[in-house]
Amino acid sequence: MSTATEEKKAPLGGRFVGATANYLDERTSLSGFVKALGRKVFPDHWSFMLGEIALWSFVVVLISGTFLTFFFQASMVETYYTGAYDPMRGIPMSVAMESTLHISFDLRGGLLVRQLHHWAALTFVAGIGVHMLRVFFTGAFRKPRELNWVVGFVLFVLAMAEGFTGYSLPDDVLSGNGLRIIDGMLKAVPVIGPWISYLLFGGEFPGHDIVGRLYALHILILPLIVIALIAIHLVLMIVNKHTQFAGPGRTNSNVVGFPMMPVYMSKMGGFFFIVFGALVLIASLVQINPIWGYGPYDPSPVSAGTQPDWYIGFADGALRLAPPHLDWVIAGKVYPMGILIPLIVLVVFIILVAIYPFIEAWITGDKREHHIAQRPRNAATRTAIGAAGVWFYAMLWAAASSDLIATHFRLTMEGVIHALQIGLILGTVVVYFITKRVCIALQKKDREIVLHGYESGRIVRLPGGEFQEVHKPVDEYERWKLVADETFEPLIVRPNDQGKIKGKFRAAMSRWFFEDRLQPLTNAEYQAALEHQEHALHEFGDDDHGHGAIESGDSKH
Amino acid sequence: MAREKLKRRARGRRSPFAAAILIGVGLLATGGIYAGASAAVAATDDATTITTQASAEEGETLFQANCATCHGMDLEGREGFGPSLNGVGELAVHFQMSTGRMPMQMHGPQADQKPVQFTDEQIESIATYVQSVAPGPEMPSTRVIDGEGDVSHGAELFRINCAMCHNVAAAGGALTQGKFAPDIMDTTPENIYAAMVTGPQNMPVFNNMNLTEDDKRDIISALLYQQEAQAPGGFTLGSLGPVSEGLFIWIFGIGGLIAVAVWITAKSN
Amino acid sequence: MEHDDSKGALKEYVPSSGLAVSIDDPVQNPGLPPHRERLTDVDPKAAKRAERTIYTLFYISVAASIWAVAAYMLFPIEDQELTSIRQNNLFIGLGIAFALLAIGIGAIHWSKTLMSDKEHVEERHTTRGSEETREAVVEAFRTANEESGFGRRKMIRNSLFAAVIASVLPGITLFRGLAPHDGENSPVDLLKQTMWKEGEHLTRDPSGTRIKASDVTLGSAFHVIPESLAKMGHDEGMLNEKAKAMVLMVRMSPEQLTEREERKDWSYDGIVAYSKVCTHVGCPVALYEQQTHHLLCPCHQSQFDVSDEAKVVFGPASRPLPQLPITVDAEGYLIAQSDFHEPVGPSFWEIR
């Protein structure tokens, strides 16, 4: 280290910055970290920012939540409200509810922060949802990202748990009825149901303990796990690097995009401020969860239109769609199948989503790393399965508001519920088939554009009298996005040495997945098609100088 | 579309804010249409109880012309058309007619509110007439509808007795077979009283032994408070709770943020 | 796996491609498209304009933050009016919102218009460690194993696992304390009894005033709690009891009631009382339709026919609502004859 040379030129950013950087680096090896990440390249596509919607709304949830913890008191001791809001004055309620009313009505900006917290929570889970859908439909969960998929999926479940524990804290009639429903569902568990309920509520429902316990979960245990998993999720994303869509210059072994400093830092940072700002804007303008209207929890009152927050809707809807009289009595013991069947269906659905990457990996047997995000149309069966899954979830979700659908669209609630039951079972199958066919049709359309160009909108008349539309070739960079270089073929099983056929199930699954497919174009076919297009174009003419054709509206001759 | 990129670049691309502006225009248009449609839906008209020269004779004439077809000339009812009006009294007449429910337009799960067909005086007359031949609950005293009752007690009673059908924020709710408990945010104090006492259609009857006159006064006061109070948190989205909140955040929140993401990653001009 | 176990050169790992079939003569990647200049790259005036926009936005943000602080003081909630609460939150919120949005929009506009948009290419490396690294790892474990004898000394290993697993058990056991050690009453016993007993007066919810049979007219719906409940305090577990004891009482003409022989004396002159706890998952089932005699639960739309022993006519519930046998005392006030004859609320394992 030659100090003489260094003193001659000023360090980047000035002497103070230089000295600070040096101080830190000498104690933390920070330079290595910055070197690795500073100019890291991120690919650019809007659908890659959906996870950030979740991440930044989580930061907003944390910030607003921290403010609230200074004022909220998670106690179920009885007190009386004596504040500003007339309809609640003198009403006995828990300290939890009273402190929430205090935050809302007596604290400047308190209601703003409470609403911000709740709106941000809704956005957090929704952000995870759209992000998960993007990852699914582009196949970004394939090796090496299967574990990250599982981590993300667990985050989804935890986010729902955070939301549920959170909105149950004010101990109001709406969320209290939600807890009542949870209690009823727990009691339905065979053998140990009433015991689980007894443990959770510290005795009979509602008891005096539940809000305090949910508070511990909501501000301590769950956030710790969520933050740890987010850290793992992001580290894995950095190690694996982000996927990218196929495109000119992009291969499976590179990343094309912009560097972290300065571009991505400002895009991500900017997006954080926009997400934060948008949420504060919504919190300033739109009311959410007006607990002063619901009143303190009492088992007796209930509101028409009792629904949980949107992300619990699918579970509530599943309960509503179960048919009646499903208690099974076996050997004197009761199995409330009207509750257990929806529970089992939901658990199976959730597990299937969680392990999907492993299912697909098993079927394809493909152990290579995949860093190219696929267009959904190019993985027809997966996309169809995903669409059917989304439909299934949507039917359950819609069912949670069956009574509101009935009043708003002037239908009978019975009709709505029956329609959703049919939609859930039959609709899922129909959506699967339609989606698969649409995907294959889109693949064919892409193929057609490659081979024959796109319709230019210019109509020419051939000497023989027929009208034809001129097709123009797509430029080579766009073309590249429309071709593939490999496909999957179903497994063909043959008898092994002992004459036994093994792997029939896998073969059947692979047939289901890959039987309907397009064979990729070879370069020879591709070049031939291009030549043909050029030739045709030359005949019809690019501008007004074509020969052999009479142009519509052309009076130049 | 990429294939047109080469040509369009020469002329310049659309402004990067075009997408945002389009979304804004779309939102304004949708919002405007919705606001216009809501305003166009007829609300309960604010019938005031002005004591006029209502006469039973005029009421009888009006009744025979407009109501007897379904309710019978002697208010005995007609099978398959309308129930007997024995014991309904002037209060029920006032309620049903001042909200436009009667005369009923067509068969349905229930008689809906619709534009009022008669003037206040005419309704008074018919009410007087019906009260004279089929006496029943009478119009409320001024005290019970003065809105000076105990709002917190009224709200508590409302939550226990009313909210399960009409919703805690009085936004209404679904009943079986296509029936519904209506939104009561625009209902007059007289009609709130009338509905409790007469129990129209499937609404239970809340007589004075169930909810005393003072209880009713408190409930009416609480409901009036609700009707007049400004929502402290902002737009209520119809007060339908988590459903409207969820719809809002998905359409405007996630929709808007995805639009922002598209803007962020779009190539600059 | 192509790993060569002999101590020679390690073969490169080539993962199996499974059912994937690549074609021999694929279309070639045309490479990165040429970089297109932005307006701000070629026109310095446009660049200046962009710069002005950006710092204007940042200064707007400063102004908005100052506004938010000012709004905190200018719009207090001192007069306890809902309007003042609304204004306080609205103006502070708008200030913060615009402050944040302006920073975000400014930063993004900067990155889009002024920062270099040349595409960079970074090479990926295989996620799998190199063969040398992996060998070193295996070697590390092998050496540690030899030096500790972990694999060889199975007694040490197995007993260690047992000890670690067992050490978790006391911690789990402590969480038994989540539920009270009542001793006498199991949760199931508690679920099977309510406050109702012979002679317990039916009273209005929440005032606790007694109800005469003559008060209950045709078409009425009364929300009922036991008289003893109304006298309880919240800290005495009043809500716990209410969650089981709440009742809905209605009256219809006796001819409209369908009752089995043994239950004919459970009603009183057309007045019937049923548990208000839905047998589905426990919400208050309280939407009474006086003309259809159907009782609707708003949570999951279970419907019960009150004129026919509250049996389930629609929705996910399975058991009818338990009926409270009632009669009148000497003064005409309604009283219960006994507790419910079956547990109220949702079904559970030992409910029978």
Tell me, yes or no, if A486 comes closer than 8 A to chain C by beta carbon: yes
Q: What percent of chain B has pLDDT over 90?
A: 57
Using the beta-carbon criterion (under 8 Å), do B206 and C220 form an inter-chain contact?
A: yes
**Stretch among A221-225, B39-43, B171-175, B219-223 having the lowest mean pLDDT:** B39-43
Contacts of A41 in chain C (CB under 8 A): 120-122
Contacts of B173 in chain A (CB under 8 A): 303-305, 403, 407
Tell me, yes or no, if C89 comes closer than 8 A to chain B by beta carbon: yes
pLDDT digits (tens, 9 = 90+) for A392-441: 999 999 999 999 999 999 999 999 999 999 999 999 999 999 999 999 99
Four-residue CA torsion sign, A496, A498, A504, A506: negative
Integer CA distances (angstroms), A113 to A63, B233, B247, in order: 9, 11, 21
Tell me, yes or no, if A495 comes closer than 8 A to chain C by beta carbon: no
User: CA-CA distance, A144 to A366, in Å (whole number)?
Assistant: 11
User: CA-CA distance, A42 to A244, in Å (whole number)?
Assistant: 9
Instruction: Count the neighbouring beta carbons within 10 Å of the beta carbon of residue A269.
Output: 16
- Lookup: tokens for A455: 């319709």
User: CA-CA distance, A261 to A270, in Å (whole number)?
Assistant: 13
* pLDDT of amino acid B6: 45
Instruction: Please report the number of interchain residue pairs, chain B to chain C, with beta-carbon separation below 8 angstroms.
Output: 95
User: To 5 degrees, how large is the angle CA A130–CA A133–CA A138?
Assistant: 130
* pLDDT of amino acid A542: 59
Q: Report whether pLDDT(A544) > 70.
A: no
pLDDT digits (tens, 9 = 90+) for A92-151: 999 999 999 999 999 999 999 999 999 999 999 999 999 999 999 999 999 999 999 999
SS3 sequence, C188-217? HHHHCCCCCCCCCEEEECCCCCECEHHHCC
Contacts of C36 in chain B (CB under 8 A): 9, 267
* pLDDT of amino acid B209: 92
* pLDDT of amino acid B9: 47
Per DSSP, the residues of A418-443 read HHHHHIIIIIHHHHHHHHHHHHHHHH
- Which of A270, A321, A521 has its CB closest to that of C108? A270
* pLDDT of amino acid A179: 97
Contacts of C113 in chain B (CB under 8 A): 268-269
Res. B5 pLDDT band, cuts 50 70 90: very low
Find which of A40, A60, A108, A483 to mutate to test the C interface (most C CBs within 10 Å of its CB). A108
What sections of chain B are H helices per DSSP? 5-11, 18-40, 56-66, 68-71, 89-98, 120-133, 151-161, 163-166, 189-198, 213-228, 242-248, 255-265
Q: Report whether pLDDT(C79) > 70.
A: no
Tell me, yes or no, if A174 comes closer than 8 A to chain B by beta carbon: yes
Tell me, yes or no, if C105 comes closer than 8 A to chain B by beta carbon: no
Contacts of C290 in chain B (CB under 8 A): 199, 202-205
Using the beta-carbon criterion (under 8 Å), do A276 and C100 form an inter-chain contact?
A: yes
Q: Report whether pLDDT(B40) > 60.
A: no
Res. A71 pLDDT band, cuts 50 70 90: very high
Instruction: Tell me the average pLDDT of chain C.
Output: 91
Q: Report whether pLDDT(B3) > 70.
A: no
Instruction: Count the neighbouring beta carbons within 10 Å of the beta carbon of residue A507.
Output: 18
Per DSSP, the residues of A164-202 read HHHHTTT-BHHHHHHHHHHHHHHHTSTTTHHHHHHHHHT
Cα–Cα nearest to B115, from B106, B102, B128, B127: B102
* pLDDT of amino acid C80: 66
**Dmax over Cα atoms in chain A, in whole Å?**
97
Q: Report whether pLDDT(C276) > 60.
A: yes
Q: What mean pLDDT comes out for the span A324-331?
A: 94
Using the beta-carbon criterion (under 8 Å), do C77 and A280 form an inter-chain contact?
A: no
User: DSSP assignment, residue C277?
Assistant: B
Which subunits count as partners of chain A given 3+ CB pairs below 8 Å?
Answer: B, C
Task: For residue C126, give how far its alpha carbon lies from the nearest alpha carbon of chain B (Å).
Answer: 28
Q: Report whether pLDDT(B7) > 70.
A: no
* pLDDT of amino acid B52: 46
Q: What are phi and psi of C238, to 5 degrees?
A: -60, -45
Four-residue CA torsion sign, C88, C91, C95, C96: positive
The residues with which C294 forms a beta bridge, in sequence order, are C289, C305
Per DSSP (E only), the strands in chain C are 20-22, 120-123, 202-204, 221-226, 247-251, 271-275, 287-289, 294-296, 303-305, 311-314, 326-328, 334-336
Tell me, yes or no, if C21 comes closer than 8 A to chain A by beta carbon: yes
Q: What mean pLDDT comes out for the span B239-263?
A: 96
* pLDDT of amino acid A554: 46
pLDDT digits (tens, 9 = 90+) for A363-398: 999 999 999 999 999 999 999 999 999 999 999 999
* pLDDT of amino acid C141: 94
Q: What mean pLDDT comes out for the span A221-250?
A: 95
Tell me, yes or no, if C253 comes closer than 8 A to chain B by beta carbon: no
* pLDDT of amino acid A194: 94
Using the beta-carbon criterion (under 8 Å), do C82 and B232 form an inter-chain contact?
A: yes
Cα–Cα nearest to A247, from B264, C34, C32, C37: C32
- Lookup: tokens for A501: 């056929």
Using the beta-carbon criterion (under 8 Å), do A277 and C17 form an inter-chain contact?
A: no
Q: What mean pLDDT comes out for the span A228-232?
A: 98
With CA atoms as reference, the chain B residue closest to A289 would be B241
Using the beta-carbon criterion (under 8 Å), do A413 and B176 form an inter-chain contact?
A: yes
* pLDDT of amino acid B212: 95
Task: For residue A110, give how far its alpha carbon lies from the nearest alpha carbon of chain B (Å).
Answer: 11
* pLDDT of amino acid A54: 97
With CA atoms as reference, the chain C residue closest to B212 would be C215
Using the beta-carbon criterion (under 8 Å), do C292 and B202 form an inter-chain contact?
A: yes
Paired sense of beta strands A372-373 and A244-245, if any: parallel
Contacts of B243 in chain A (CB under 8 A): 305, 307, 310, 400-401, 404
With CA atoms as reference, the chain B residue closest to A82 would be B152
* pLDDT of amino acid C235: 80
pLDDT digits (tens, 9 = 90+) for B186-208: 999 999 999 999 999 999 999 99
Which residues, at least 6 apart from A107, have a Cβ–Cβ distance to it below 8 Å? A71
* pLDDT of amino acid B193: 95
Counting beta carbons within 10 angstroms of the beta carbon of residue B70, is it exposed (0 to 12), middle (13 to 18) or buried (19 or more)? middle
Using the beta-carbon criterion (under 8 Å), do B230 and C82 form an inter-chain contact?
A: yes
pLDDT digits (tens, 9 = 90+) for A19-53: 999 999 999 999 998 898 888 999 989 999 999 99
Cβ distance A109 to C89 under 8 Å?
yes
Integer CA distances (angstroms), A216 to A210, A222, A230, C173, C229, in order: 10, 8, 20, 19, 31
Instruction: Tell me the average pLDDT of chain A.
Output: 92
For residues A28 and B50, the model is more confident at: A28
Q: Report whether pLDDT(B33) > 90.
A: no
Res. A86 pLDDT band, cuts 50 70 90: confident
Integer CA distances (angstroms), B181 to A446, B115, B166, C284, in order: 54, 18, 6, 17
Q: What mean pLDDT comes out for the span A187-204?
A: 94
User: CA-CA distance, C196 to C275, in Å (whole number)?
Assistant: 11
Counting beta carbons within 10 angstroms of the beta carbon of residue C196, is it exposed (0 to 12), middle (13 to 18) or buried (19 or more)? buried
* pLDDT of amino acid B14: 64
Which residues, at least 6 apart from A121, have a Cβ–Cβ distance to it below 8 Å? A57, A61, A162, A163, A166, A309
Q: Report whether pLDDT(C193) > 50.
A: yes
Task: For residue B55, give how far its alpha carbon lies from the nearest alpha carbon of chain C (Å).
Answer: 31
Four-residue CA torsion sign, A537, A538, A539, A544: positive
Q: Report whether pLDDT(A541) > 50.
A: yes
Cβ distance A303 to B164 under 8 Å?
yes
Res. A7 pLDDT band, cuts 50 70 90: low
Tell me, yes or no, if A400 comes closer than 8 A to chain B by beta carbon: yes
In the three-class reduction of DSSP (H, G, I as helix; E, B as strand; rest coil), residue C265 is classed as: helix
Instruction: Report the complex ipTM.
Output: 0.92
Q: What mean pLDDT comes out for the span C251-278?
A: 94
Q: Report whether pLDDT(B42) > 50.
A: no
Q: What mean pLDDT comes out for the span A150-154?
A: 97
User: CA-CA distance, A505 to A493, in Å (whole number)?
Assistant: 10
Cβ distance B165 to B203 under 8 Å?
yes
Res. A495 pLDDT band, cuts 50 70 90: confident
* pLDDT of amino acid C15: 87
For residues C158 and A557, the model is more confident at: C158
Q: Report whether pLDDT(B43) > 60.
A: no
* pLDDT of amino acid C2: 43
Tell me, yes or no, if A496 comes closer than 8 A to chain C by beta carbon: no
* pLDDT of amino acid A79: 95
Res. A503 pLDDT band, cuts 50 70 90: confident
Res. A499 pLDDT band, cuts 50 70 90: confident
pLDDT digits (tens, 9 = 90+) for A442-488: 999 999 999 988 888 889 998 899 998 888 888 888 888 888 878 89
Residue C322 is which amino acid? P
User: CA-CA distance, B166 to B162, in Å (whole number)?
Assistant: 6
Using the beta-carbon criterion (under 8 Å), do C93 and A285 form an inter-chain contact?
A: yes
- Which of C21, C80, C223 has its CB closest to that of A300? C223
Using the beta-carbon criterion (under 8 Å), do B16 and C112 form an inter-chain contact?
A: yes
Which subunits count as partners of chain B given 3+ CB pairs below 8 Å?
Answer: A, C
Find which of B164, B216, B240, B252 to mutate to test the C interface (most C CBs within 10 Å of its CB). B164
Q: Report whether pLDDT(C3) > 70.
A: no
pLDDT digits (tens, 9 = 90+) for A254-298: 999 999 989 999 999 999 999 999 999 999 999 999 999 999 999
For residues A540 and B220, the model is more confident at: B220
Q: What mean pLDDT comes out for the span C267-280?
A: 96
Res. B39 pLDDT band, cuts 50 70 90: low
In the three-class reduction of DSSP (H, G, I as helix; E, B as strand; rest coil), residue C116 is classed as: coil
Using the beta-carbon criterion (under 8 Å), do A271 and B260 form an inter-chain contact?
A: yes
Residues in chain C: 352
Q: What mean pLDDT comes out for the span A514-536?
A: 88
User: CA-CA distance, C223 to C71, in Å (whole number)?
Assistant: 47
Find which of B86, B150, B205 to mutate to test the C interface (most C CBs within 10 Å of its CB). B205
**Stretch among A302-306, A336-340, A454-458, C142-146 having the lowest mean pLDDT:** A454-458
Most confident of A8-12, A493-497, B159-163: B159-163
* pLDDT of amino acid A130: 97
Tell me, yes or no, if C242 comes closer than 8 A to chain A by beta carbon: yes
Q: What percent of chain C has pLDDT over 90?
A: 76
pLDDT digits (tens, 9 = 90+) for C111-148: 999 998 889 999 998 898 889 999 999 999 999 999 99
- Lookup: tokens for B179: 């029936």
Q: Report whether pLDDT(C5) > 80.
A: no
Using the beta-carbon criterion (under 8 Å), do C287 and B164 form an inter-chain contact?
A: yes
Q: What mean pLDDT comes out for the span A240-265?
A: 92
